Amino acid sequence: MNDRILYIKWDSGEMEIVLAEFFPTTIERFKKLLRIIRLDWQNQDEIIESIQAFLEQAIDDRHNSNAEIRRHQKNLTWVRKEHEKRSGRKII
């Protein structure tokens, strides 16, 4: 898995998500992405972790504006909550 592109496969299809183009996003689009990620049940934890790593890196990127960093931080909060729900442990 490329750290900039997510590859999601399920029984009847597949999808590639370019993270830099998808994020920052709205909660509605994020929930749609989660529904698609759940279709790839064998790799869903790895996919969520990749999104989290991408957002952490985007927050640290000094080229992003403060507003964009805040949007990435909000998205990261959503991803961490989803990861906690799946793994049963709190992410710091």
In whole angstroms, give the CA distance from residue 47 to residue 7: 8
Residue 92 resides in a domain: no
CA angle 3, 25, 38 (to 5 degrees): 65
For residues 58 and 23, the answer to whether their CB atoms sit within 8 Å is: yes
| Per-residue pLDDT at 92 | 53
Q: Is residue 91 part of a domain?
A: no
In a domain, 53, yes or no: yes
In a domain, 58, yes or no: yes
Determine, yes or no, domain membership for 60. yes
Domain containing 80 equals 5-86
pLDDT in tens, the chain (92 residues): 556 899 999 999 999 999 999 999 999 999 999 999 999 989 999 999 999 999 999 888 878 788 888 888 998 998 888 878 877 766 55
81 phi and psi angles, rounded to 5 deg:
-65, -40
Number of domains in the chain: 1
pTM for this entry: 0.77
Question: Is 69 contained in some domain?
Answer: yes
